[in-house]
Amino acid sequence: MLIRPAGLADVPAMTETLNWAIAHTDVIFRATPASIAEREDYLRELWEKDCPCLVAESDSGDYLGWALYHPYRDPQVWTGCYETTIYLSPTAQGQGVGTALLGALVKAARADKKVHSLLALIVSTNAASLKLHEKFGFENVGILKEVCYKFDRWLSLTHLQLLV
């Protein structure tokens, strides 16, 4: 498996993965699909903020998933605090892709002087993601209860934090 910086050519596959998660899971609260143009703009914003966006691909070059960190809320207020995001292709889940991507993100954050804290905001029912983040030392720092209604049920959001 190869973990590398994302480029604009990766955006269609990244957008497809995001839209699959929006339509079929509760791991993201968003209800409307993302467009490729929107996601290209977002990737450019990440580059302007000097934040990594990484893509995982198989040894044969197949796209597997993506991950990034970005400033949490207003960076002038939340100095040094960044939020992680990881999405895997549905066919890549359970194969160590999330571990590879999160490991690369944590390594990048530890080398990044502007990062003091990584946050992961995870739907409380997403046991696999909670376990993955805890494996890297993220600690549960609280739960916002029933903050989104999706798929005919209320969802809570667990906040995990890693001081890098």
Q: What is residue 101's predicted lDDT score, i.e. its pLDDT? A: 98
Domain boundaries, the chain: 2-115
pLDDT of residue 26: 94
d(CA 149, CA 41): 28
- Return the CATH number of the domain spanning residue range 2-115: 3.40.630.30
Query: Per DSSP, what are the bridge partners of residue 118?
Result: 82, 162
Q: Crossing angle, helix 36-48 and helix 11-24, to 10 degrees?
A: 110
Q: What does the pLDDT read at residue 100? A: 98
**Predicted pLDDT at 25:** 95
Asked if residues 81 and 141 have their Cβ atoms less than 8 Å apart, the reply is no
Site of tokens 């990766």: 10
For the chain, residues with pLDDT lower than 70 are: none
What was the pLDDT predicted at 75? 87
**Six token digits for residue 52:** 């990594």
Supply the pTM of this predicted model. 0.94
The pLDDT tens digits of the residues spanning 84-121 come to: 999 999 999 989 999 999 999 999 999 999 999 999 99
